[in-house]
């Protein structure tokens, strides 16, 4: 197997979870702090931290400390990187 796809695998694994997909969707609309994200889910703080660690480690989400809060935002360049692969895959498909 080629190493071409290795950079994409962590992103797709991160997006394979409904909670993380919802978080990405929320962050695509606005930058949020952890407490704001927590208010939208019935998660514990440690569970949210787990999900955010996965999203930040794959590069989809940026985390910035500001005062006593962590502010999260989408990394648009990383998202475009994934979209480029999906477009490449679509270009290779027959239109049905």
What is the set of domains in the chain, with CATH numbers?
3-91 (1.10.10.10)
* Per-residue pLDDT band at 95 (split at 50, 70, 90): low
Residue 5 has pLDDT above 90, yes or no: no
Number of alpha carbons in the 13 Å side-chain half-sphere of residue 33: 7
Rounded Cα–Cα distance for residues 58 and 42 (Å): 24
pLDDT of residue 94: 62
Q: pLDDT of 26-79, one tens digit each?
A: 999 999 999 999 999 999 999 999 999 999 999 999 999 998 889 999 999 999
Contact 24, 74 (CB under 8 A): yes
pLDDT-derived band at 2, boundaries 50, 70, 90: low
3 state SS of 59? coil
């Amino acid at each position: 197997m080629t190493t071409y796809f290795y950079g994409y695998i962590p992103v797709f694994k991160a997006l394979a979870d409904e909670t993380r997909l919802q978080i990405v969707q929320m962050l695509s609309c606005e930058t949020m702090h952890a407490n704001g994200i927590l208010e939208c889910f019935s998660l514990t703080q440690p569970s949210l931290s787990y999900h955010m660690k996965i999203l930040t480690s794959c590069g989809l989400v940026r985390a910035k400390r500001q005062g006593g809060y962590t502010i999260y935002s989408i990394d648009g360049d990383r998202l475009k990187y994934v979209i480029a692969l999906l477009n490449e895959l679509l270009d290779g498909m027959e239109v049905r």
